[in-house]
Structure 1
Amino acid sequence: MTHNNYRRILLSAAALALSGAFATANAADVVIAGSGGASQDAQRQALWEPASKALGIAFAEETSQNWGEVRAQVDAGAVTWDIVQLALQDTGLVSAAGVIMKLPEDIVNRADYIPGSVNDYCVGNTVYSTAISYSTEVYGEQGPQNMVDFWDVEKFPGKRGMLRAPRGNLEAAVLALGHPREEVYTFLSTPEGRQAALDKIAELKPNVLWWESGAQSMQLMQDGEVPLMYGWNGRAQAAIDAGAPYKLSFNDALLNVDCYAIVNGAPNAENALKFLKEVAKPEYQKDLPKYIAYGSANLKAYVGYDEATLARLASSPQNLTNQYPADVEFWTEHGAELSEQFDAMLLSN
């Protein structure tokens, strides 16, 4: 995030809080900021509503597309959110910035979770992939099969939809350069490797429509504005389920985890802890795939799934084979600098 963008968000958050814009949210027992769109709808139905009923704790909800929004609340001393959904890769940066609180060690049993999906600050909730989807109307059944194909604008002409952020795109660019999945972060471990990946993204830039939210990526597919999408599998599947003529592939997909954290200075921190612990239970988590094609980070939630359900989940054994996991430590170390470099690349000619 650039300094000017952060300053703008900070001022906006302070102004909204002082004006009482969040009065309704503050009246709730706990306030949750999710990622919006189909993902938030799914979490509301599978997790938040039944947990609220079980605990007798009323919740209100907001949406957040960037952790800078909650950082602005903390820095302005005007915190109105209690629980915020984050990408697991961002938690190192977010905790270092003092935005989220350290969780009790017994908040969940980490042995029940996918390794690495719970840390001292965040509890994994959804497992998803950033994956390729392609229009069958444009390419038939044989669209791009990997990231080398995705970058090949002669063989596969047309606009690409990509997240307006470095996370995920740097990794995809390394694959497009011809490196194997198991060597992605080794390649990105050097300044030269990171620059080569940025240069590869810049090469594709004239053919990209940048999206900034999962709901926007879905809309691009539903409107047929991009015959190629590199986006979150649950949003892509939701667009396909709604009738968008696309095919989703997990080959060369990047496996990710989103998680729940509690905001430093949360006005309802005690309720937030109770709520977070409750929604983490497998009896709620198992219902996520009823509403969106995302699996849970809680391994106990997978008991009893049929083959049709597993086929739609990035985290199922049959779909894991040709994917690779995101490296949380890499983004903790390099996330801030890469955000600046990515923004500079987008603004350059």
Structure 2
Amino acid sequence: MPKLPKRLPGMAAVAASLLLSAACGAGSAAPASIDLGTGPAKSGTVKKNALSGLNMTFVSYGGAYQEGQQKAAVDPFAQESGAKILQDGPTDYAKIKAQVDSSNVTWDVIDTDSIWAEGQCGKLLQPLDYTIIDKSKVPEGLATECSVPAMQYGMVLAYNKDKFGASPPQGWKDFFDTAKFPGKRGISGNPGDSAPGPFEGALIADGVAPDKLYPLDVDRATKKLQSVRSNLVFWKTGAESQQLLESGEVDMAMLWSGRAYAAVKNGAPFDVSFDQWMPTMDSLTVPKNAKNPKASMALINYYLGAQQQAKLTELTSYSPVNTDAKPELDEKGRSFLTTRPAVADKALKIDSKWWAEHQHEMIEKWSAWLGG
């Protein structure tokens, strides 16, 4: 099930390099041996020219997000390591499966949804080598056997501050209270996808305690969603969610923090409540049977560096995944960082393991409700 293009403004194609195909040499045989140097791994570093003559392919979701990844980490890694790295995308799970099943894997490092990655560990994805990848600066609990976070963001509640004035909605209970807070609400509505957000928000609004959310009571959640259905405006892509805010078509929305930030930067009169926001992240992964796994691990290790993560945040507004990263942002940009303690402390705890085990079932139930 391919994911939609990711959650940033300007989802135009990344530079012409995205048009390069694997046939140009990506995934070529590795040198007889790769010498990454001695001593413990240190994120953000790679031995000079350690991968000279090696072709690799980095895969992500395109647009401003992948362009930021390329500028912040992938291109500098290529320059230092000597590898030639092609860009490809968007990430497509059917293509990953086809490559692995045919034992013809041409993608080396892939940016994927974190829940999908958890469910595919040992199946379509291989375990990461943490003797090459330094995860010591990654927040505890975010690195898994087969993935490390690529960046962090969240599902948040955005509201029209001109309309709601001094008494704005504060959380998901208010989002579902159409009497106290009348108006249209934007919410994700892609029948081919289901992820944390609508079900959790509906259950919180219906009185479920945050620490009792899982396993999700889908029938109860859909009943709550149905109660406000006439007030909902469904978006299918990040660009659509952002446009709902900028056009004024909705008075509040459940959407990705990067899109909310982009809308505010473009002049939309919206603010964000981080009460009960839902943490989300992309993950960096290596497909099973990748031809150059050691080189893939080296690229991931470099990507996690503090300098690389700070630059990525400056280019994309997404929060860094290195605790030493210090991105230079204006006040508004800093206010949207989900890693700030004042924001992080308000997050709902999402059970990604439960989601990974039930995602197919959740997609079916979500699609059924949308089509009902």
Normalization by structure 1: what TM-score?
Answer: 0.81
Match of 2:195 among 167, 177, 197: 167
Is 1:24 paired with 2:50?
A: no
Alignment of 1:293-312 (within 5 A): 293-302=317-326, 310-312=334-336
* Cα deviations by residue, 1:114-138 (Å, 9 ceiling, x for unpaired): 1111111111121111101123354
Stretch moving more, 169-178 or 50-59: 50-59
Question: Residue 73 of structure 1: CA displacement?
Answer: 4.3
Confirm whether residue 41 of structure 1 aligns to residue 77 of structure 2: no
Q: 1:149 & 1:32 partners in 2: Cα distance?
A: 42
Alpha-carbon RMSD: 3.0
Measured in 2, the distance between the counterparts of 1:89 and 1:124 equals 11
| Alignment match, 2:310 | 286
CA 1:176 to 1:40, structure 2 compared with 1: closer, same or farther past 3 Å? farther
1:330 & 1:296 partners in 2: Cα distance? 25
Identify if the C-alpha distance between structure 1 residues 211 and 272 changes in structure 2 by more than 3 Å, giving closer, same or farther.
farther
Q: After the TM superposition, which residues 329-340 of structure 1 pair with which residues of structure 2 at under 5 Å, given as runs? A: 329-340=353-364
Structure 1, 133-142 or 106-115: larger mean CA deviation: 133-142
Match of 2:87 in 1: 61
Residue 13 of structure 1 is matched in structure 2 by: none
* 3-state DSSP of counterpart to 1:341: helix
Residue aligned with 2:279, SS? strand
Residue 314 (structure 1) aligned to one of 332, 338, 350: 338
Q: Describe how 1:1-349 pairs up with structure 2 within 5 A.
A: 24-27=21-24, 28=26, 29-64=55-90, 67-75=93-101, 79-95=105-121, 98-140=123-165, 142-154=167-179, 155-162=181-188, 164=190, 165-168=193-196, 169-181=198-210, 183=211, 186-189=212-215, 193-266=217-290, 269-302=293-326, 310-348=334-372
Q: What is the letter of the counterpart of residue 172 of structure 1?
A: G
Out of 335-344 and 101-110, give the one that drifted further: 101-110
CA–CA separation in structure 2 for the residues paired with 1:71 and 1:227: 41
Structure 2: runs of 5 or more not aligned: 4-17, 27-54
CA 1:325–1:296: 2 relative to 1, 3 Å = farther
Distance 1:308 1:344, change over 3 A: closer
User: Is the CA contact 1:162–1:208 (under 8 Å) kept in the aligned structure 2?
Assistant: no
The size of the alignment, in residue pairs, is: 325
Do 1:32 and 1:83's aligned partners in 2 also have CA atoms closer than 8 Å? yes
State the Cα deviation string for residues 226-269 of structure 1 (Å, max 9, x = none): 33221111221122112222212211201122210012244554
Aligned equivalents of 2:95, 2:249: Cα separation in 1? 29
Distance, in Å, in 1 between the alignment partners of 2:106 and 2:240 is 26
What's the offset of the Cα at 1:308? 6.4
Higher helix share: 1
* 3-state SS in 1 of match to 2:296: helix
For residue 283 of structure 2, give the secondary structure of its aligned residue in structure 1.
strand
Task: Confirm or deny: 8 A CA contact 1:95 1:101 kept in the other structure.
Answer: yes
Partner Cα separation in structure 1 for residue 104 and residue 248 of structure 2: 41
The one-letter amino acid of 2:128's match is L
The percent of aligned pairs where both chains have the same amino acid is: 24
- Name the aligned partner's letter for residue 108 of structure 2: D
Question: Does the Cα contact within 8 Å between 2:188 and 2:254 map onto a contact in 1?
Answer: yes
Distance, in Å, in 2 between the alignment partners of 1:30 and 1:219 is: 36
Question: What TM-score, normalized by structure 2, do the two folds share?
Answer: 0.76
CA distance in 2 between partners of 1:215 and 1:74 (Å): 32
SS of residue paired to 1:291 = helix
Give the unaligned 5+ runs of structure 1. 7-20
Q: 1-side partners of 2:285 and 2:236: how far apart? A: 21
Cα distance, 1:340 vs structure 2: 1.6
Seen in structure 2, the aligned counterparts of structure 1 residues 285 and 344 have a Cα distance that, compared at 3 Å, is same
The answer for the alignment partner of 1:10 in structure 2 is none
Structure 1 residues 160 and 104, CA gap change in structure 2 (3 angstroms): same
Aligned-pair CA distance for 1:163: 5.3
Q: State the secondary structure of the residue aligned to 1:92.
A: helix
Check whether the contact 1:187–1:194 (CA below 8 A) recurs between aligned residues. Answer: no
2: CA distance, partners of 1:65 / 1:144: 35
CA distance in 2, matches of 1:283, 1:240: 27
